[in-house]
Amino acid sequence: MTREADIVSLPVETKLHIVSYLSLWEKICLSATCKHFRALLAPDFLSKLKFSDDEGAAAALLAAESNGQYAIAIEAEVSAESADKMKTPALSPAAAELLGGRWTPNARTVRLNFDFTFEETHDWSEEGSDWFEGDEYDEDEGEAESKYLWRALVNETWQAVSANTAVDTLIVDGFLPIWQSAYKTPDFARFMKQIKHIKFIIASDEFMDATWTIKPGFQWIMEKVGFHFFQHLTSIESLCIDGDSCVLGGERPDFTPLPLRDISLPALRSLTLRSCYVDSALTAFLSRHGRTLTHLVLDECFAADMWWSEEDDSWVESSWADFFDAIHQTAPALVHLAAGHDADGVLIQKWVRRRDDRLIRHHICKALRRNRARRHFCYVRIDDNTGRYYRMNADMNKTAFSDGRDWKAYKRLMKLVKQNEAKATDVYAAPAEYVPLELKPACEEDWESQSNRPSDDEENETPDEDEEFEFWE
C-alpha cells in the first residue's frame, strides 16, 4: 500500500486535524495535489478568506481564483505604523481584487479591521489630528490621502469593497471618524444600499488622543458620516453601533451626537447600541421606527449627568424613566429588549472610581441579589476636558435606584414587549455571520488593567452600618 493511499484512507476527522496545523499557503498546495484533498480542504479553509498583508492577500487571491465559490466571508486587516512610508497604490492589488468580490460570488459577509499604530514619540498632530479642530474640506481629504499611508489605505479599502455586488453583511472594526473621498462616489452609495446587516465599532482612544471626541471637527464628521453612510442604508435590517471609548449621544451641545439624527431606515428590524447615551435623538429615532423595529439591545449605555444649559439658563437632566416612557407611548413593535445591569454586571468596573462610588455599587449589588428579577440603569459622568468616562454619578445612581422610577418604567415597557412577543408570528433573526452585542457582566480583566484601580483593602471593604441606606424594593 502506498503512502498516499495510507493518508487518503485515514478518517476525515483525523485528516482535518492534521491539516489544521498547516498555514493557508500549505493548505492551498496540499489541495492542489489531487481531487481528494481539494474536495476535502477547499470548503473548510476557503469558507473565510482572511488576509492582512501583501503576501497573505496574494495567497488568498490564488486560492480564490481556483476555489472562490466556497468562500462565504472575507476578512481583511488593514494596518500601518507611523514609520511606514507612503506607496502607490497603498492597498495591494491582490487585496483590492479580493475585496471587490470578483472570485467570491457566494461571500455575503465582509469584515474590515482597521489597525493603525502610532509611536508614543510620534507627533500625531502631523498625521492630521488637528483636522478635528474644524471641518475638513474636499481639498484637505485629497491632500491627506496622497500624503499619508494610513489615509490612503482607508480610502482605497472602501473603494475596493464598494465594487462588491454580492455582500449584504458588513462589519467594520476600528471605524475611523475621518472623512474619505470614497464616501462621495456612486459606487459607495450603491454598495451601502445593498447592505442588510452592518456593525460599526468606533476606533478606540488607543488609536488617537481621547480628546478627539470633544473636538468640533469630530462632532462635525460624525454628523456627516451619519448623513453619507446611513442615508444610503435603505435595505438595512440589523444595525449595531459600538462607541467603544468614544461616547456617543447626549443632550449637551459639546457631546458627540449619535449618527442617527434625522435618519430614516425603512427596513430596520434590529438595533444594538453600546457605549451610548439614551437621549432625545435616540428617542426620536426609535419613535420613527416603532412599527418596524422588533429588537433593541442597549449594552453599557447610560443616561446623562445633569448639565447646565446656557440656552435655557437652567439645569437639564435626562433619565432612563423618561426614555422608557417615551418609547412606551409610541406603542412600539418590540419583541426583544435588553437594557440595564443585573447583580453580576451592575455599574461596569471602569466607571467605579472613588470610595463613595464603590459604596453605592456595593448597596445596589446587595439589593439586586435579593431581587434577581430587577435591573439597574446607570448614570455616568463624562469628563468635559477629555471626553473620557469620568466616573459614575453616585448620587444620581443612588436616587434613581432608591425611588424605582427607572425600574417601574422599564417594567411597563417590558410588559408591552412581552405582549408583542406572544402575538408575534414572524420573529426576526439576524444571520449567523452577524452576531450583535449582548449584555454581559463586568469585565474583570478590564478592571485589573486600570491604572487607578483601588487597593485590595479598598476594593474588599464593607460599608459601615451607619453608611447603610434603604433602597426601594
CB 216 within 8 A of CB 190: no
Question: What digits encode the pLDDT tens for the residues 176-229?
Answer: 777 788 988 999 999 999 999 999 888 765 555 445 555 666 666 676 666 677
* Pairwise CA distance, residues 375 & 341, whole Å: 5
**Secondary structure tally for the chain: helices H, strands E:** 17, 13
Identify the residue with better confidence: 261 or 447.
Answer: 261
Buried-state track 143-170, b at ≥16 Cβ within 10 A, e below 16: ebbeebbbbbbbbbbbbbbbbbebbbbb
CB 114 within 8 A of CB 203: yes
State the amino acid at position 452 in one-letter form: N
Q: Count the residues in the chain.
A: 473
Confidence of residue 91 (pLDDT cuts 50, 70, 90): very high
For the residues of 370-400, what is the DSSP string, one character each?
A: H-TT--B--BEEE-TTT-SEEEE-HHHHHHH
Vertex 146, ends 60 and 223: CA angle to 5°? 90
* Pairwise CA distance, residues 433 & 87, whole Å: 34
Instruction: Give the containing element (helix H, strand E) for 216.
Output: helix 216-230
Confidence of residue 59 (pLDDT cuts 50, 70, 90): confident
What average pLDDT does the chain have?
A: 76
Regarding beta strands 307-309 and 109-117, do their DSSP bridges make them parallel or antiparallel, or are they unpaired?
A: unpaired
Minimum mean pLDDT among 145-149, 185-189, 297-301, 447-451: which range? 447-451
Confidence of residue 425 (pLDDT cuts 50, 70, 90): confident
Grid cell of 90 as nine digits: 497603498
CA dihedral 93, 98, 103, 109 (to 10 degrees): -170
Question: Residue 181 — left, alpha, or beta (φ > 0 → left; ψ -120 to 50 → alpha)?
Answer: alpha
Quote the pLDDT of residue 361.
74
Mean local confidence (pLDDT), 285-297? 91
Regarding beta strands 380-382 and 389-392, do their DSSP bridges make them parallel or antiparallel, or are they unpaired?
A: antiparallel
Q: Residue 8: pLDDT above 90? A: no
The DSSP output letter for 169 is E
Q: Residue 343: pLDDT above 90? A: no
Minimum mean pLDDT among 133-142, 149-158, 236-245, 341-350: which range? 133-142
Q: Residue 4: pLDDT above 60? A: no
* Pairwise CA distance, residues 301 & 406, whole Å: 14
CB 413 within 8 A of CB 328: yes
Q: For a pLDDT cut of 70, what percent of the chain falls above it?
A: 66
3-state secondary structure of 95: helix
* Pairwise CA distance, residues 38 & 41, whole Å: 5
pTM: 0.80
Mean local confidence (pLDDT), 240-246? 78
The phi and psi torsions of 454 (rounded to 5 degrees) equal -70, 165
* Pairwise CA distance, residues 246 & 212, whole Å: 9
Quote the pLDDT of residue 276.
84
Question: What digits encode the pLDDT tens for the residues 131-140?
Answer: 454 454 445 6
Confidence of residue 460 (pLDDT cuts 50, 70, 90): very low
Q: Residue 456: pLDDT above 50? A: no
